[in-house]
Amino acid sequence: MSVRTLPLLFLNLGGEMLYVLDQRLRAQNIPGDKARKDEWTEVDRKRVLNDIISTMFNRKFMEELFKPQELYSKKALRTVYDRLAHASIMRLNQASMDKLYDLMTMAFKYQVLLCPRPKDVLLVTFNHLDSIKGFIQDSPTILHQVDETFRQLTEIYGNLSAGEFQMIRQTLLIFFQDLHIRVSTFLKDKVQNSNGRFVLPVSGPVPWGTEVPGVIRIFNDKGEEVKKTGFKHGGNYVAAQKEGAFELYGDRVLKLGTNMYSANRPVETHMSATSKNLASKTQENIAPNPLAKEELNFLARLMGGMEIKKTSGPEPGFRLNLFTTDEEEEHAALSRPEELSYEVINIQATQDQQRNEELARIMGEFEITEQPEITEQSTSKGDDLLAMMDRL
């Protein structure tokens, strides 16, 4: 397991989250002069994206993120994205947040699987950051935050060996191995089967620095080529024309990690039979004991570095529905296997806080509340909140 995987996982999943939110906010956009008080406008869309990106690239948060550390459970990371998604006036209920997280994880899993070289996961990350910068062109302060993260990435990952990148890729694949959620876009493009597993291509450019398969060379003990034979590989491969740019600006060449929702097509998710069957087997990994010391410390350090902007005055949050209708959203919440629904972690103080002054300070600011039942009133626009940590 690589201790350098977490920043790449977080940034790429965060990029996919922003793609989905941007697409849904645009789909529900109402011209400002025609919008009611509880409807989205273009100004609201930009404000939501700016707030989330500013929080995501907060300097203290990035400092904690880039410290060498092992990956933690899906539930721990999901809690961080819950907090991040609600860093603005936007509010998602449980079903929409589940769908958002499904889309994020399956998109990045697909990108990791298709990376020509392990090192190319860094190009995928740069593609996400390039697109994120496109969302905040009018916000120079936030742009500077993203550019600083670019600098950290090139400084830390620029000199890693091929073996170290292979370890990072393997760590990511282990993290994603039991997720087989069907996504409509992937199904329509025929890159995903009905069981939720991806179809690996047998055509296209080969990894940079390698040759098109089809030749076997035999060398003697002096390293001299003595024989060459050919074979049919069954694919339609071509040589890579050039390597993608690993600098702040440049042609990444690789398209993985770019915004697949730019065509503005709706995207649905469905639980495959495989995922349902694996739910009970993976429950321990998805829903671990939230009081485990290392996981608790991880969440405390990360959330302690996040500065969440509070809405001033009586202004309510705006609800965003990732489903076509409220009925679809309610049905998804009821039909999703319990083992695959990520409830919010309620952190309770334990004796550990006496041994960890920083953790005690952060824990003391959490309000422990019960998860409220979803009622018709709670799902109205502005009141539909995830039951999560109330404040930092």
State how beta strands 225-230 and 215-219 pair. antiparallel
Position 372 scores a pLDDT of: 40
The band of 185, judged by pLDDT with boundaries at 50, 70 and 90, is confident
Residue with the larger pLDDT of the pair 305 and 28: 28
**In the predicted model, what is the mean pLDDT of the chain?**
76
Burial of 187 (0-12, 13-18, 19+ CB in 10 A): middle
Q: CA nearest 206: which of 229, 185, 233, 231?
A: 233
Burial (CB count <10 Å: 0-12, 13-18, 19+), residue 11: buried
For residue 347, what pLDDT is reported?
35
pTM of the model: 0.75
Residue 229, helix vs strand vs coil: strand
CB 391 within 8 A of CB 303: no
pLDDT at 115: 93
**Ranges of H-type helices in the chain:** 6-27, 42-56, 59-65, 74-85, 94-114, 121-135, 140-157, 162-176, 184-188, 273-286, 293-304, 326-335, 352-355, 357-364
Average pLDDT over residues 274-287: 45
Banded pLDDT at 202 (limits 50, 70, 90): confident
Give per-residue pLDDT as tens, 356-370. Answer: 455 555 445 444 444
- pLDDT at position 218: 95
